[in-house]
Amino acid sequence: EENAVSNYKTSLEHLVQQFQNSNPYEMKHKFWETQPVGQFKDLGNSSLPEGPIELPTPLSEVKQEPYNLPSLYEWTTCDMGSDEICNEVYILLTNNYVEDDDNMFRFNYSKEFLQWALRSPGHFGSWHVGVRVKASKKLVAFISGIPVNMRVRDQVLKMAEINFLCVHKKLRSKRLAPVMIKEVTRRIHLENIWQAAFTAGVLLPTPITTAQYWHRTLNPKKLIDVGFSRLSERMTMSRAIKLYKLPNSTTTPGFRKMELRDVPAVTKLLKNYLSRFVVAPEFDDSEVEHWLLPRENVVDSYLVESPVTHEITDLCSFYTLPSSILHSQEYSTLKAAYSFYYVATSTPLLQLMNDALIIAKQKDFDVFNALDVMENESFLKELKFGQGDGQLYYYFYNYRLQNALKPSELGLVLL
Ligand code: MYA
């Protein structure tokens, strides 16, 4: 019965997407073909070594001046600590950032979320890059990076995580994105960092893994009303409501909200757990505090403290990312939770995630989303997640892997 309410994207749209992506070898990527990334023509060429594609150049040889923009535009560094500038980025993204294939929903990252995502430990203000119209000073494009320690097999590399690339709808297809990518790359090189990781919904040369979204309905009526899900033939609304019903309270003894005093224990748990994946970030205490300490309407983290030994044994977390609903009379926002990092050592992962669903339901989320990365496959079907149609491709810049990974080999969740 899990598939009785199916996610909104139809098999036909899936076909169209597959067709567009059907022969990547023949697709021309005028920009990406010039960049140090794994190229489609090299897939399966085992003579190419794993590791950096280009060696670092001396910092004195990194271009000192910004790249040229078309003459009507100018670079700006966006100080995300300023409420006013953060609001400008927020407005740009709210109106122009990622939509689903049918243009029914658009991500609506909150201001608090953007500050959390971009002002992480060790962040560089210069990596929060905007483009303004010279005459009006209107912000029309953005790209950002933050530093992260990324482990690939047994090596830890300082990388940048790139996110929030956005060009105003009216300035699309003018090749602004390649200039922005080159400019953020230059600013990252100036900090002596030569690798990056990012995700995108589009297929580019070449993914380190391809992940799928799964959706756990929490509020069937609203999801159906806004066209996120639809009832299958043999499913009625009242059967759907019953199918997705959750208990009112969590079931695991010792399950509670994470607090500041838990940071060292969580850092240890997470480091140990993430070591089982081929690619995963390495978080120190300050990063665990930043990324996992609960922030209202941004990130929620719960852990299990053994009622007997008071040891911290398990963790689960999710972040809050609403989407604007673009064409509904009745509703303006879809409230979505996204599974973030977790560790299950003494509580079965299935039970831990079920408790996360119960909390998300209590907090009035409409849907709980998860990718098929980490060990998520072990609970998705059983906890009544339905497969979405969206692919999320993970990429490295200037780092080649011998073979693409299975999503289950990836211990990385980007925002
Ligand atoms: S993923 C989210 C991306 N944002 C959106 O989808 C929001 C809505 N869309 C837009 O705002 C625009 O369509 C964007 C493209 C800005 C995406 N990642 O300027 P153009 C290539 C990488 O004419 P536009 C995220 O934020 C495209 O293949 N490349 O196109 C992670 C083509 O190149 P090629 C992309 O539509 C971002 C070229 O751009 C993406 O006006 C990671 C066309 O440029 C994409 N999502 O603008 C960025 N979309 O001809 C890379 C299109 O070769 C970081 N393109 O196919 C790399 C690491 C840098 C740091 C390195 C440090 C060492």
Residue 46: pLDDT over 80? yes
User: What tens digit of pLDDT does each residue of 220-238 get?
Assistant: 999 999 999 999 999 999 9
Nearest CA to ligand 1 atom 47: 177
Asked whether 383 and 356 are in contact (CB, 8 A), the reply is no
Confidence class for position 11, pLDDT limits 50, 70, 90: very low
Q: For the chain, what is the mean pLDDT? A: 94
Residue 8: pLDDT over 60? no
Confidence class for position 24, pLDDT limits 50, 70, 90: low
By C-alpha distance, which of 323, 409, 404 is closest to 43? 404
Which among 94, 150, 167 is the best mutation to test ligand 1's pocket, defined by most ligand atoms within 8 Å of the CB? Answer: 167
Question: 161 has which bridge partners?
Answer: 146, 197
Q: Which atom of ligand 1 is nearest to the CA of 200?
A: 1
Confidence class for position 71, pLDDT limits 50, 70, 90: very high
**Coil, strand or helix: which one is 158?**
strand
Find the mean pLDDT for residues 182-204: 98
Six token digits for residue 239: 């059967």
pLDDT of residue 17: 43
Enumerate the active-site residues: 415
pTM to 2 decimals? 0.95
Question: 149 has which bridge partners?
Answer: 158
Q: Residues with Cβ < 8 Å from 149, sequence gap 6 or more?
A: 156, 157, 158, 159, 281, 282, 283, 284
pLDDT of residue 13: 37
User: What tens digit of pLDDT does each residue of 269-284 get?
Assistant: 999 999 999 999 999 9
Asked whether 96 and 168 are in contact (CB, 8 A), the reply is yes
Q: What is the sign of the dihedral through the CA atoms of 55, 61, 64 and 70?
A: negative
Q: Any residues with Cβ below 6 Å from ligand 1, and which?
A: 29-32, 96-98, 160, 162-167, 172-178, 181, 184-185, 188, 193-196, 198, 200, 202, 204, 397-398
By C-alpha distance, which of 293, 305, 301, 295 is closest to 318? 301
pLDDT of residue 92: 99
pLDDT of residue 390: 84
ipTM tops 0.95: yes
Confidence class for position 27, pLDDT limits 50, 70, 90: low
User: What tens digit of pLDDT does each residue of 116-171 get?
Assistant: 999 999 999 999 999 999 999 999 999 999 999 999 999 999 999 999 999 999 99
pLDDT of residue 412: 98
